[in-house]
A and B are shown apart, each in its own frame.
Chain A
């Protein structure tokens, strides 16, 4: 496989794909070059939903992907959270994909999903529309009829068309009744809650916010929006999920604990985090920004520095040679486990020092607030290029949310910008390093290594 395909995928996977012809072509080429690898990308946690939808459409439609069985596609979709899997599978309906492969994948995923009742309760309209598309209007109509008027013929029909996919046919029948609008006595608590909420919204406590707002719009127009928000489950779900090392560093910085008090726990978590990561051969220079701005403030307090320290810790464990150059900080990170953010941001000088050792790649882990003559880092890189130093130079920005504005904080066009919002982002960093060292055309064994780096948890 051409490694450029992978690099292009890494560059674009977080950007919504809508209407981007180049990205659509990239997906097709990736699928044709390595369908097995492409299948695993369906579970890429950092890819935008639109990419996963394109992947599923390609895996169903492109002849090159027909070596991948339906069962394996469904298994891969089940790795995703249920709601995300539904949104991905909905591409079958939205693009009007009508073939047996699509129908089998869609029905296996939906009816065979252990959270089928919960999905139906929370996303009734979407699930119904998808089922209707997969079965066809006439078959769906027959399903409704046979559910409402049970008969021997009807039972055989339901079994043949739908229920044989279900791990629990009785529960699947209940869910189908709910979707088809056929009266039934719910035994599943989520379905019961959803039905009861039509009478009284309070009974729907714990359902997703969008579901409750939908019910409010139809049945309970006088209930205030604040009440709906307090009843919904969304708040709990949207809580931030930082990685274990980031959490540890952040807590330690907040509480101001001494290194020795948490070093044991740090090593334990590090070992766990690197267990599934292969070792990368290479000489890497890391410029670590520990200037005062890396402390951030408010709800983001200590997040950038904690994430940066976590990334360095993981890189040191998984790259054979890492040289660390520090900007600011209360102590040297190589000597002290928990240096505090402090001082000005002179990235240019640190970059110069890093370049002297002629590493294979340089990473600048920084928030990008270069305040000692902003633009000097870009000029130093320009100077390095003039002197024939061609190693890739990355600016890794630990971000709190994907929506952060970084135009002003990008050190310059020559720096490859990598946004990392979770310590698992180290996988992308390692993958890029691996690809930097690899030849233009990568072997199947190397593709497998990339797969392990990017996707194995």
Chain B
């Protein structure tokens, strides 16, 4: 009940402009070092006009990988476009795991070959088998390297970054992402449980210990419901876990209890602390609103335009349908 009211208030007075003008922020929620502001469409018509974008988990099929670094993917939906999120990874036992280097656009029923993918399991042979495959996502700290290395045809090119990343967790196994993931998965799962999906939500801004580190927007709420757990566990949860281990502290306004008069006073102080925190986070979110002006075209397909951003410490890609932003993945290059 409460979040619906908050959302309605937010719609009326959405402080977001530019890139995020069609969105209204929800309440700030957090778990550990990770804080999230949900993003909601300002109008219900917007949600209805985007039902043609199919949800990625249930629509994607991995047809196979004919060679290392190449993935053949298919949109299983007979009606609807699939925007495959950036930097998704596929794990199968006993074969070489792969990750994509960019957003991929697949029309209804289309099969697409992407030959600039990364192998993410240095010493494992074998190619991916056909499967309706769930995917995970590269950890936030690896996404800069993955972004900068897109378009380069060398399946080994992410191994050095994976090895360096794993070492930060005390794991020294070279370019094997799953050797980092397995021992840490149980600690990553609570992020998914704690930072809950809200009805009608289509995106979120992610903060690490008080600093904005990423903005993700999906075409519609069904799509977002599938994408959010993946982002929380693998991408942003992993960064929050590492920040926690490095003893970072969330920059949170404290609730001063000195001279407390009564419960009304306590309630007012609580509300004020929350308002201040929400304002500070929203102010950061507003700083990325004009980044779309720096975007450069990358691809046009299925009536959609894919653009890349690399500006002012931010990297990412966005997809436009006409003048409407339907997908955005934006992350900070330096954490």
Contact present for B270 and A369 (CB under 8 Å): no
Q: How far is the CB of B200 from chain A (nearest CB, A)?
A: 11
Q: Which residue of the partner chain, among B27, B193, B255, B266, contacts A387 with CB atoms under 8 Å?
A: B266
Contact present for B257 and A379 (CB under 8 Å): yes
Contact present for B3 and A373 (CB under 8 Å): no
Contact present for B31 and A342 (CB under 8 Å): no
Q: How far is the CB of A369 from chain B (nearest CB, A)?
A: 4
Contact present for B29 and A344 (CB under 8 Å): yes
Contact present for A343 and B260 (CB under 8 Å): no
Residues of A within 8 A of B28 (CB): 372-373
Q: How far is the CB of B276 from chain A (nearest CB, A)?
A: 11
Alpha-carbon separation in the docked complex, A376 to B262 (Å): 17
Q: How far is the CB of A296 from chain B (nearest CB, A)?
A: 7
Contact present for A348 and B270 (CB under 8 Å): yes
Q: Which residue of the partner chain, among A328, A342, A369, A384, contacts B194 with CB atoms under 8 Å?
A: A369
Residues of A within 8 A of B274 (CB): 372-373, 376
Q: How far is the CB of A414 from chain B (nearest CB, A)?
A: 13
B158 at interface, CB cutoff 8 A: no
Complex interface bits, A325-350 against B, C-beta within 8 A gives 1, otherwise 0: 00011001000000000111110110
Residues of B within 8 A of A296 (CB): 193
Number of A-B residue pairs having CB atoms within 8 Å of each other in the complex: 90
Q: How far is the CB of A264 from chain B (nearest CB, A)?
A: 28
Alpha-carbon separation in the docked complex, A372 to B195 (Å): 9
B168 at interface, CB cutoff 8 A: no
Contact present for A374 and B257 (CB under 8 Å): no
Q: Which residue of the partner chain, among A344, A374, A376, contacts B3 with CB atoms under 8 Å?
A: A344
Complex interface bits, B186-220 against A, C-beta within 8 A gives 1, otherwise 0: 00001011111111000000000000000000000
Alpha-carbon separation in the docked complex, A376 to B30 (Å): 12
B interface, size bucket: 20 to 34
Residues of B within 8 A of A409 (CB): 190
Contact present for B2 and A291 (CB under 8 Å): no
Alpha-carbon separation in the docked complex, A293 to B195 (Å): 8
B273 at interface, CB cutoff 8 A: yes
Alpha-carbon separation in the docked complex, A430 to B31 (Å): 32
Contact present for A373 and B260 (CB under 8 Å): no
B226 at interface, CB cutoff 8 A: no
Complex interface bits, A378-396 against B, C-beta within 8 A gives 1, otherwise 0: 0110111011000000000
Contact present for A343 and B190 (CB under 8 Å): no
Contact present for B29 and A371 (CB under 8 Å): yes
Residues of A within 8 A of B273 (CB): 373
A292 at interface, CB cutoff 8 A: yes
What residue of chain A has the Cβ atom nearest to residue B189's Cβ? A297
Residues of B within 8 A of A292 (CB): 196-198
Q: Which residue of the partner chain, among B27, B196, B198, B270, contacts A376 with CB atoms under 8 Å?
A: B270
Contact present for A344 and B270 (CB under 8 Å): no
Residues of A within 8 A of B277 (CB): 373
A356 at interface, CB cutoff 8 A: yes
Residues of A within 8 A of B252 (CB): 373, 375
Contact present for A349 and B196 (CB under 8 Å): no
A54 at interface, CB cutoff 8 A: no
Task: Please provide the 7 A-B residue pairs with the shortest distance between their CB atoms, ordered closest to farther.
Answer: A292-B196, A371-B29, A369-B194, A383-B266, A343-B3, A379-B255, A293-B193
Known pairs A328-B1, A371-B196; list 8 more (Cβ under 8 Å). Answer: A291-B196, A343-B2, A344-B196, A371-B195, A372-B274, A373-B252, A380-B266, A387-B263
Listed by A's residue number, 17 A-B pairs whose Cβ atoms lie within 8 Å are A343-B196, A343-B198, A344-B29, A344-B198, A345-B29, A345-B194, A345-B196, A349-B267, A352-B266, A352-B267, A369-B193, A373-B277, A376-B274, A380-B270, A384-B263, A384-B266, A387-B266
Q: Which residues of A are interface residues toward B (Cβ below 8 A)? A: 291-293, 296-297, 328-329, 332, 342-346, 348-349, 352, 355-356, 367, 369, 371-376, 379-380, 382-384, 386-387, 408-409
Q: Which residues of B are interface residues toward A (Cβ below 8 A)? A: 1-3, 27-32, 190, 192-199, 252, 255, 257, 260, 262-263, 266-267, 270, 273-274, 277
